[in-house]
A and B are shown apart, each in its own frame.
Chain A
């Protein structure tokens, strides 16, 4: 029976109709295609009345196939398929012809855009003719979430999921959870102490019955799919047994390697080789830095097992745990396998490397520091116990220059975006500085002040008006050293003058960048990332916490620069998505899966069993099946698709020489029809 196809052309307000003659598209489609039973145009197809129109016409006209010529299928394919379901039409008879993103928005000439739209609609109409009814595939769900990253985003998400009654596995690659928030001194716009609000959350996460925490651990691999991920976690050798260790501090007090730059203190404080990153670390148990520990250095040099080195055994000797010491020099990496239903990626950001700004003396002058370094200086638990002392000589700086937009909004340095938090934290820095150095003077160079957030504008005004920071609108061209002073050369564009400031310290509001390994990590997860290597959300407005891969969600700064409240909000949102997902026992999956044909005897299947499909399948979804005679003898061995594992890439179909395996939704006839509809000839 031939299909009755309805074509609905959307104006999208004027987004489409301004450059595509939608009426003509509808008319031509009707005129030239006998299978098109009905065409119409509508202002907003996705609106409620638009969807109602679609539903009504399916029923009134008895349509068995629908083409909606509108925006990208990534926007509303789901919407229109759902609308069709309400009329009883199988959703896979609904196709989208993308005449907005790939036509009206990119081709300003009306006749050209109209012609192309007519072609695109015809191609999709032809494909629709061959659409088959498909049934969603049900897959069981593993009720356990994985949260990657133990910063505020990861902690918040983990707590929300755990409080919702689901199990959470949390993986943090550093020795302690806490992330960047744990490094901050005070937070804007309330100036509450970061540690005071962060550490209780860290403790809560660590003690939660539903949370299993892996610190000093990384994701080795992730395979599987929504509801059924197989995750391998690499527990890096910590050299300390977390079960035995009590965190008594005996070991790190005796460690002779005391001059290692502390990562947590952003290099302005020191730590030992066996260390906890910061006093409030969770777990509050040390790790041995094998790169810098003299015992490990010795073992590497002599090519012996670490435990056989006798160079220094101070920490193990100091360990009071008996009979088995909590320190194990020979400990090796361990791989843990976990089954996971949904994943939240909360891997955070890194600060722009200061060396990138040679003209500001970044990485060259000790007293030119980054925003995060200033946080450590101002922190009561930092290397200076909260006293503002400049790194070079420990003097209290009398004049501090803060430079905003270091990296941010500077395409020449590879970040065209705004890091969003720097205006606020710089205002905060000037206040912290003034609170601690009453006679000090703070200058701020800025391009614009962007303080769009609740109480943010008031906060930055306070820095200027009440706390007396001098804000100069303009960029700094150069910072150079003159004696003990740093000379900051900049412009004040409001007065049109050149400014030269003799400063004691310079603080760079360095850009927030994606993690160095963001790209490889995204590839490991099969999620998309943007030009700056921040992970891409599924839709910028409507799916802000979903990644491009089903079952993987994003939280915090791995998706783009954001401040703490936004991060926490996003983490909560991601957690709620995960909770919703884990609340059902089975999930429905798009039935875009491959099938190997089956025929009546004596052929049974045109598959000849060469198993190229099995070899190319990335998901091991192809099995072999013996077709047997009544007596049990094997007539033929053919391929079969395990639809639970199949992810619908179509590799098998393109590899099969006899085209015995096809991909539902993109089957041979559908693609053929689409190509054949190219009316070039």
Chain B
């Protein structure tokens, strides 16, 4: 697979199909990889692929530094590829301005990441070139998809509040979660708006609650569950639980799953006349 990947990258750069390849390179230790940006055909041997390729490289599509390198080819796993679908839907990138190198993936991380547990995109849903043998994507039930929420949803109201307060209390407002998130691409995050300052930017429980709720809400109908926010959080806040809860509600109420179909209307930018309203008096 690695050879095929390198060969493809070399070809793309040589033919000037793209200016840069975003991919995974070897890290300082074998259990780590790091993002690499290959601009010369002779550098393609820096590319690698293994089970430690956890990052969602699509986040570099929002960074000025990487975008400056020109038209990219990007190595994506099935989960990451969903991001590109959303980015296209949200006018952040045009399909023709990106070359997608999809890699088939049977799970990453050691132990395997939670997101891999109910993975139904072992083969990416969108790509220009597929590296690796095509794997028939599995199907999971609604319950299976959101199984990890069960133990939290079961908690009493008080337990939920206590649990999350304990989590949010740890938040130091470093914004690693939003920096890494490929879909947190605003030029100015709402937390940085100071006239008015809707969200208290200090690491105070009040602002921590509003920040974390707002961050999650802003990903409603958008998050593709790459879990990068949770992975980078230095305070180990299980941020993805919030994202996942919203994904569950979006699917339950609107039959929508983000990143699966480029033709679907964005869940939070549309409506149906018969949307659920059993909670409205």
- Residues of A at the B interface (CB closer than 8 Å) are 603, 605-612, 615-616, 637, 655, 657-660, 668-669, 672-673, 676
**What residues of chain A lie closer than 8 Å to B185, measured between beta carbons?**
608, 610
A-B pairs with the 3 shortest C-beta distances?
Answer: A672-B196, A615-B269, A658-B186
Q: Which of B193, B195, B269, B270 has the most CB of A within 10 A?
A: B269
Q: How far is the CA of A611 from the CA of B88 in the complex (A)?
A: 11
Question: B125 at the A/B interface (Cβ < 8 Å)?
Answer: no
Contact of B186 among A606, A616, A669, A676 (CB under 8 A): A606
Q: How far is the CA of A606 from the CA of B191 in the complex (A)?
A: 13
**What residues of chain B lie closer than 8 Å to A655, measured between beta carbons?**
268-269
- Kindly report which residue of chain B lies nearest to residue A613, judged by CB atoms: B269
Contact B269 A612 (CB under 8 A): yes
Question: Contact residue range for chain B?
Answer: 10 to 19
Task: List residues 249-270 of chain B with CB under 8 A from any CB of chain A.
Answer: 265-266, 268-270
**What residues of chain B lie closer than 8 Å to A668, measured between beta carbons?**
193, 195-196, 198
Question: B156 at the A/B interface (Cβ < 8 Å)?
Answer: no
- Kindly report which residue of chain A lies nearest to residue B62, judged by CB atoms: A608
**What residues of chain B lie closer than 8 Å to A615, measured between beta carbons?**
265-266, 269-270
Shortest distance between the CB of B66 and any CB in chain A (Å) = 17
Contact A657 B186 (CB under 8 A): yes
Contact of B91 among A637, A658, A659 (CB under 8 A): A637
Q: A615-B266, A655-B269, A657-B186 are in contact. Are A610 and B91 (CB under 8 A)?
A: yes
- Kindly report which residue of chain B lies nearest to residue A605, judged by CB atoms: B187
Contact A616 B91 (CB under 8 A): no
Question: B272 at the A/B interface (Cβ < 8 Å)?
Answer: no
Shortest distance between the CB of A456 and any CB in chain B (Å) = 45
Shortest distance between the CB of B33 and any CB in chain A (Å) = 29
Contact B196 A669 (CB under 8 A): yes
* A/B interface sample: 27 pairs, CB < 8 A: A603-B187, A605-B187, A606-B186, A606-B188, A606-B193, A608-B92, A608-B186, A609-B91, A609-B92, A610-B91, A612-B268, A612-B269, A615-B270, A616-B269, A616-B270, A637-B91, A655-B269, A657-B186, A657-B218, A658-B187, A659-B190, A659-B193, A668-B195, A668-B196, A669-B195, A672-B198, A676-B196
Question: B189 at the A/B interface (Cβ < 8 Å)?
Answer: yes
- Residues of B at the A interface (CB closer than 8 Å) are 90-92, 185-190, 193, 195-196, 198, 218, 265-266, 268-270
**What residues of chain B lie closer than 8 Å to A659, measured between beta carbons?**
190, 193, 198
Shortest distance between the CB of B139 and any CB in chain A (Å) = 30
Shortest distance between the CB of B191 and any CB in chain A (Å) = 10
**What residues of chain A lie closer than 8 Å to B186, measured between beta carbons?**
606, 608, 657-658
Task: Tell me whether chain B's interface is mostly helix, strand or loop, or mixed.
Answer: loop
Q: How far is the CA of A668 from the CA of B196 in the complex (A)?
A: 7
Q: A657-B218, A658-B193, A659-B193 are in contact. Are A608 and B187 (CB under 8 A)?
A: yes
Q: A608-B185, A610-B92, A637-B91 are in contact. Are A657 and B266 (CB under 8 A)?
A: no
- Kindly report which residue of chain A lies nearest to residue B265, judged by CB atoms: A615
Q: A657-B218, A659-B193, A672-B198 are in contact. Are A606 and B187 (CB under 8 A)?
A: yes
**What residues of chain B lie closer than 8 Å to A610, measured between beta carbons?**
90-92, 185
**What residues of chain A lie closer than 8 Å to B198, measured between beta carbons?**
659, 668, 672
- Kindly report which residue of chain B lies nearest to residue A624, judged by CB atoms: B91
Q: How far is the CA of A655 from the CA of B269 in the complex (A)?
A: 8
**What residues of chain B lie closer than 8 Å to A660, measured between beta carbons?**
188
Shortest distance between the CB of A215 and any CB in chain B (Å) = 32
Contact B193 A611 (CB under 8 A): no
**What residues of chain A lie closer than 8 Å to B92, measured between beta carbons?**
608-610
Q: How far is the CA of A610 from the CA of B91 in the complex (A)?
A: 5
- Kindly report which residue of chain A lies nearest to residue B89, judged by CB atoms: A610
Shortest distance between the CB of A510 and any CB in chain B (Å) = 34
Contact A673 B196 (CB under 8 A): yes
Q: How far is the CA of A5 from the CA of B32 in the complex (A)?
A: 62
Q: How far is the CA of A603 from the CA of B269 in the complex (A)?
A: 25
Shortest distance between the CB of B76 and any CB in chain A (Å) = 21
Shortest distance between the CB of A536 and any CB in chain B (Å) = 22
Contact B187 A657 (CB under 8 A): no
**What residues of chain A lie closer than 8 Å to B91, measured between beta carbons?**
609-611, 637
Q: How far is the CA of A673 from the CA of B195 in the complex (A)?
A: 11
- Kindly report which residue of chain B lies nearest to residue A610, judged by CB atoms: B90
Q: How far is the CA of A609 from the CA of B62 in the complex (A)?
A: 12
Q: How far is the CA of A610 from the CA of B93 in the complex (A)?
A: 10
Shortest distance between the CB of A657 and any CB in chain B (Å) = 5
